[in-house]
A and B are shown apart, each in its own frame.
Chain A
Amino acid sequence: MAEPSALSIRDLAVQFRNEQGVIRALDGVSFDLRAGQTLGIVGESGCGKSVTARSILRLIDRPGRITGGQILLDPAGPQAIDLTALDPDSRQMQQVRGGRIGLIFQEPMTALSVHYTVGNQIIEAIRQHRDLSKADAKAQAIALLGEVGIPHPQRRIDAYPFELSGGLRQRVGIAMALAGNPDIVIADEPTTALDVTTQAQILGLLQRLQREKGIALMLITHDMGVIAEMADEVAVMYLGRIVETAPVERLFAAPRHPYTRALLRAVPSILATPRQRLSTIGGAVPHPGLRPTGCSFHPRCTEMLGERCRREIPASVPLGVSGGASCFLPGASE
């Protein structure tokens, strides 16, 4: 039984305009983030995974702008809000950002100021979204720091971010994201800057918090290992489009899009045999401003069907838990 959607993205388009022309960073992206589930979004640089996160929070700066589509919060409820219709600086959007939707960054210092203590920043974040006295907010902040696994939270609350290790800083970053008690959390490469043993701890923490709080987690990563470990459903992106969605087991067992297949075979593995060569994908990801015609993966695709792939854009992936691929190959889209 599928959980209801907490956030539905429909045909989202984002463009960046500069002297050289128009870059279509997102070109018709649709997916559902289900309540209490983890949706992994995976792709190589320039695929649009971070732009997706930033558009949801309305953090796209000029010259970028949302040119189409909808971002629906509580889509099935009586009070669905289309975030694309809100002014990014409006009070309502500020309540959504950090309140309904928390954000975890790759580098926690993006979210933290060097000038204030960890405690000051979390207390402020809590009070922005909840009507609490300073003392109550401080107690909340200490509880939150304990919850994200920071030892001696009563003492650490007075630390400055630079006094903490990378792993502890990311824990503070997670506490910040949770300060407004969100039911949706977007984590953009939350462990990419961390060492592997710290990464394992932070992934474990995210899993635990998600389960306990029933958070809908949108986890953006380039690492197929992190996807395999964390996601319930996966969306694979390439050049501003979703090329495949699938439940995680199916994605790894029977990927349907040639790009997903190629990507999985290209990942170096700790289970490799000595001197094992990897399957490669020819060429490189094109610049988003030089998007190929038709299916944008066709110049690198080894399973191309011919003219059709060069000329026509395949239909978007079907919505729904079973997913599918945006590809002309027989059976790909079911």
Chain B
Amino acid sequence: MNVLEVSDLKKHFPIRAGLLQREVGRVRAVDGVSFHIAEGETLALVGESGCGKTTVSRCILRAQSVTSGAIRFRPEDGREVDLATLPKRELRPLRRHLQMIFQDPYASLNPRMMVGDIIAEPLKVNGVPAAERQARVLELLELVQLPASARTRFPHAFSGGQRQRIGIARALALHPRLVVADEPVSALDVSVQAQIINLLLDLQDRLSLSMLFVAHDLGVVRHISDRVAVMYVGRMVEVAPTDALYRSPRHPYTEALLAAVPAPDPARRGRRIPVTGEVADPARPPPGCAFHPRCPYAVERCRTEQPNLGEVEPGRWVSCHRAKELSLAGVA
């Protein structure tokens, strides 16, 4: 059963200019993206800045309107809604099923509220009685491994890692169907990051969380996700089970991304050849496949014809004209 099915999602931002603010072009931030998240599954959405991964997550949360496409969400068994077209009024009761973990644990907690009240806030808004709220807050603090005494303290008394735990407790308060985590560990130091990664792994096991994990760090992603979706300039280039994607990528951009990560092992030094060029401008994407100017395998067809995401083997989708003939290098 899929919790979320995104199909052909597009989000274009108009570029306006001149006295009359006429539309002179469009930034195709997200340009036809499809993927799904099964119940209990963590899907990582990866890519470099400007690839549209954050825009996708904002569309799902409807923090952003959608240009076209469908975002089918199953808040409860037997019910399905399209978040892309749902009127704002009908969106509100769904919010409890769709929660978010933010990147910056310093900016996302109200400094004037006690931690207990921060975690209880979503419960209160959704009409959970006070006595029940108390019990649930204690349960949640235990779940994220914070002491019960944290309830009566303010966010500033906590370190970055502890604040991220508070944010996670708040997101889980209402047993959401889907959690969207946007770079939840990228602001943390390595030693603290490891704690939060382990906590998320525990929570996946204990609560069978369904999660969209937006991230740029491919190391973190390998630890935490069941499947990975790779984006490049507004489009999906590859979707695959995590281990398969790292061991044998099928899209040249995935290969380039993996090769670019410096491995913490001096013996592997100098073995990689970095991809040349820079990420294309989504306001003026190159014709054909957007990756072709940087792709060492590009042929004439890649310069003119845009490839579509197709299933090259069960569970593996790739958007590359040469997906079936190329043999690309992964990391063991």
Contact = CB atoms under 8 A, between A and B. Distances in A.
A269 B162 CA distance: 23
A225 B194 contact: no
A196 interface: yes
Contacts of A271: 222, 263, 331-332
B332 A196 contact: no
Contacts of A268: 193-194, 197, 217, 219-220, 222-223
B257 A196 contact: yes
Given A195-B49, A268-B193, A225 B266 contact: no
Interface of A: 44-45, 165-168, 195-201, 203-204, 222-229, 248-249, 252, 262-264, 266-281, 284-285
Interface in B232-291: 242-243, 246, 256-269, 272, 274-276, 278-279
Nearest to B220: A268
Given A272-B219, A275-B201, A266 B194 contact: yes
Interface of B: 48-49, 159-162, 189-195, 197-198, 201, 204, 216-220, 222-224, 226, 242-243, 246, 256-269, 272, 274-276, 278-279, 331-332
Q: Is the interface of B mostly helix, strand, loop or mixed?
A: helix
A226 B260 CA distance: 11
A204 B276 CA distance: 11
Top 10 A-B pairs, shortest CB-CB distance = A225-B262, A200-B274, A268-B219, A195-B48, A281-B191, A266-B194, A278-B194, A200-B260, A44-B189, A284-B159
A42 B256 CA distance: 26
Given A44-B190, A268-B219, A280 B262 contact: no
Contacts, number: 145
Contacts of A262: 191
A229 B190 contact: no
Contact of B276 (A201, A266, A280): A201
A280 B258 CA distance: 25
Contacts of B192: 284
21 contacts: A44-B191, A45-B189, A165-B278, A167-B278, A197-B260, A197-B279, A198-B278, A200-B272, A225-B261, A228-B262, A229-B263, A252-B265, A252-B266, A267-B190, A268-B222, A269-B222, A272-B222, A275-B224, A277-B198, A277-B223, A281-B191
